[in-house]
Amino acid sequence: MRNKNVGFLIVGIAVMIVAIILLFNSGMKDIVDETCDHGTACQMYDTISMQTNLSLIIAGLVLVIGLFLIFSKEHERIIVKKVKAKSRAKRIDMSKLDADEKKVVGILKREHGAFFQKSVMDELGVGKVKMTRLVDKLEAKGIVERKRRGMNNIIVLVR
């Protein structure tokens, strides 16, 4: 809850406490008036006034706390988001790759950086084992990543 709402709630409770105190006080005075024979010199009047004053002071403190919460300024939350700096696309050194690896990288570049491993395998005309070994080599060199999509793998160029 917001401070303002809590403050209004506390002020409402303080007002109810004051009303209960005053009702209780008037009831006690009526009882004392009927039962006490000493008149105004009766000690019960002093006790009632002392208890009423103490109760009103406590209710006043609760009221002040509520008013403080109503008029206090809400703390602003500062949200800091870290933005990852976009790294520039690193250039792939094609001179260190063999012919089949160059073909795989060429296909991935043509397909905007991602393609199914099965489709690359069909396009190159190689078997599953050779394709897996090619992708493993390229992954070890940090050129591609293999991502699992259901029953298929997607080969993605690392940027």
Say yes or no to pLDDT of 88 above 70.
no
Other Cβ atoms less than 10 A from the Cβ of 143: the count is 22
Secondary structure (3-state) at 148: strand
Predicted confidence (pLDDT) at residue 74 exceeds the cutoff of 80: no
pLDDT at residue 37, rounded to an integer: 78
Q: Check: CB of residue 135 under 8 Å from CB of residue 65.
A: no
Give pTM, 2 decimals: 0.44
CATH no. for 94-157: 1.10.10.10
Domain regions of the chain by residue span: 3-71, 94-157
Kindly give the interhelix angle for 99-110 and 117-124, rounded to the nearest 10 degrees.
120
Q: What is the pLDDT of residues 13-24, one digit of tens each?
A: 999 999 999 999
